[in-house]
Amino acid sequence: MNQLAHSDSLYLRQHADNPVDWWPWCDAALAEARRRDCPILLSIGYAACHWCHVMAHESFEHGDTATAMNAAYVCIKLDREQRPDLDRAYQRAQQALNGRPGGWPLTVFIDPHTLLPIFAGTYFPPTPRHGLPAFRQVLDGIATAWREQRDAITQQGAQWHEWLAAAEATPASAGAEASDFVAHALAQIESRFDAEHGGHRGAPKFPQASELELLLDLAEADRPESEAARRMLVTTLDGMARGGLHDHIGGGFFRYCVDADWGIPHFEKMLYDNAQLLPVYARAAALLQRPDYARVARLCLAWMQRELRLPDGTWASALDADSPGGEGACYVWTRETLAAALPDATLRTQAEHDFGLDRAPNFEGHAWHLRLATDSALMREDADGSAMRNALLAARQRRPPPARDDKALTAWNALASAGLCRAARALRAPELVQPAADALAALRGGAWRDGVLYAQAGSATSVPGFLDDHAYLLDALLELLAWRWSAQDFIWAQALAATLCAAFEDHARGGFFSAWP
């Protein structure tokens, strides 16, 4: 057993039994790497990440690979949800070194004396495939370079540091009108828009919540761009709500789909995605007079309350992509499992019609991941449909569930709370505000200590909060105050605003630092 067994991160504990001598990110680990004069192998991921699990099973659980890692490196595991500052920095390095976006798992080899990257990538397979080298090849190559090409590594680190400093020093453009930024953003969205399915063209396909919020704002406004924004908004919301990204039985959205038509997801479900999509659907329901969008929003909240709610009133961060029976096992259906869940022939026929189960299986050749087959199935809500979905949900809840990551992250809980307040206003549903108020009260008790906001509620080892923790929580408090006055919450909001400006504002160039300077 390594040094991760007692971590308060589920992701780190998932690796506690690896033969790799994992360390958490800490001063002692960095000092050990400097003492040994060996590179740091930093592996960043999160508990619900499918490809993180794949790389763990293929590489980190194997004795020969672990022996090579332990011999040449100090190996550090990092939960990106606990240290978004470090994840952001090394993701940026990965993109600069490779010329393409990163992801998770993020694999970074680091000079222990400067903490600058030597080499970075994401998932590496155990044998070469898809243009990727084998992980053992990477391990051996970096170890050899560290022994034989130290001067070149040092020079590369210096160049990277100069590039980063120059990028940080680049001043923001001055004098541009806000309308110019909006027009540019809309043009960017249009340039990659999938006119058939919505969202960005190609695969994998992620819900882009911030883009949807911009489209919604423009659709609500009286501007020349409003019609185009409304068209892209509706196409995307329909595609997501009808497709496999949406959990039609349990509510909520999966993190992303592996195909271009929102068909098959990787099955992790994240609080932050749903926290942002819920108010988008609620606001769109009010703007477009679409009661089906309102149902999507309410089902999303029902899922959050049923499957993510923690005893103190906050929400857990995620459900794992993998179930005990394999990826998707909790969510997919065969004819046999469907018949057992729906003995009533009328309900079974409706399920087959609504979800297109007369077609070939869409999941690994033998099962169906449910997606709506027709537009009418999205628009319709009747007693039989509700009974059918309730019966399927009851059957699904008897299956072994995916693991839940119980971290109560301040930023994500604040996002969810603000989103519920906005949804309540759009749907004229004040009952949606209470879960938000409960979560914010729990954050006050669990993440605000001695005038300092922490990034994780109820964690004795949490780091102080980042810019997004302060900004999202301030936004959530203002949304709640708009619903009901509380002098205590107003004083708290003032304190957060003061800390945000004092700790994060860049007085020299404008804007704000994302982490403590």
What is the CATH number for 71? Answer: 3.40.30.10
List CB contacts of 224: < 8 A, sequence separation 6 or more.
none
pLDDT at 219: 95
Q: Quick one: pLDDT band at residue 446, thresholds 50, 70, 90?
A: very high
Q: How far is CA 145 from CA 21, 35, 38, 111, in A?
A: 22, 19, 11, 12
Instruction: Please give the Cα distance from 299 to 287 (Å, whole number).
Output: 19
Dump strand ranges (E) for 312-445. Answer: 318-319, 322-323, 326-327, 404-405, 408-409
- Let me know whether 126 and 57 are in one domain: yes
On whether residue 178 sits in a domain, the answer given is: no
On whether residue 159 sits in a domain, the answer given is: yes
- Let me know whether 134 and 243 are in one domain: no
Instruction: Please give the Cα distance from 415 to 275 (Å, whole number).
Output: 6
- Let me know whether 64 and 196 are in one domain: no
Q: Quick one: pLDDT band at residue 170, thresholds 50, 70, 90?
A: low
pLDDT at 383: 80
Question: Could you give the count of Cα atoms lying within 13 Å of 210 in the half-sphere of its Cβ?
Answer: 4
pLDDT at 106 over 80: yes
Q: Quick one: pLDDT band at residue 163, thresholds 50, 70, 90?
A: confident
Specify the number of domains making up the chain: 3
- Let me know whether 395 and 415 are in one domain: no
Q: The whole model's pTM is what? A: 0.93
**Site of tokens 């027009």:** 183
pLDDT at 378 over 90: no
Last residue of a domain, one of 363, 385, 405: 405
Cα dihedral 137→141→144→150 (10° resolution): -160
Last residue of a domain, one of 349, 384, 405: 405
List CB contacts of 413: < 8 A, sequence separation 6 or more.
271, 314, 315, 439, 440, 442, 443, 457
Average pLDDT score over residue span 481-494: 97
pLDDT at 172: 55
On whether residue 174 sits in a domain, the answer given is: no
Number of Cβ within a 10 Å radius of residue 464:
15
Instruction: Please give the Cα distance from 331 to 328 (Å, whole number).
Output: 5
Instruction: Please give the Cα distance from 189 to 181 (Å, whole number).
Output: 12
Question: Could you give the count of Cα atoms lying within 13 Å of 171 in the half-sphere of its Cβ?
Answer: 6
- Single-letter residue type at 321: A
pLDDT at 117 over 70: yes
- Let me know whether 189 and 308 are in one domain: yes
On whether residue 75 sits in a domain, the answer given is: yes
Looking at the DSSP bridge assignments, the partners of residue 332 are: none
Query: Tokens at residue 189, please?
Result: 């969205």
On whether residue 415 sits in a domain, the answer given is: yes
- Let me know whether 450 and 351 are in one domain: no
- Let me know whether 345 and 458 are in one domain: no
What is the per-residue pLDDT across 77-93, written as a single tens digit (0 to 9) for each?
A: 999 999 999 999 999 98
Query: Tokens at residue 306, please?
Result: 């049923």
What is the per-residue pLDDT across 208-251, written as a single tens digit (0 to 9) for each?
A: 999 999 999 999 998 888 999 999 999 999 999 999 999 999 99
- Let me know whether 128 and 158 are in one domain: yes
- Let me know whether 279 and 197 are in one domain: yes
pLDDT at 110 over 80: yes
Last residue of a domain, one of 358, 381, 405: 405
Instruction: Please give the Cα distance from 453 to 232 (Å, whole number).
Output: 38
On whether residue 265 sits in a domain, the answer given is: yes
- Let me know whether 283 and 204 are in one domain: yes
Q: How far is CA 481 from CA 414, 440, 454, 474, in A?
A: 14, 11, 22, 10
Residue that wins the pLDDT comparison between 246 and 510? 246
Residue that wins the pLDDT comparison between 463 and 166? 463
- Let me know whether 226 and 319 are in one domain: yes
Which domain range does residue 80 map to?
10-167
- Let me know whether 258 and 115 are in one domain: no
Q: At what angle do helices 271-288 and 291-303 cross, to 10 degrees?
A: 160
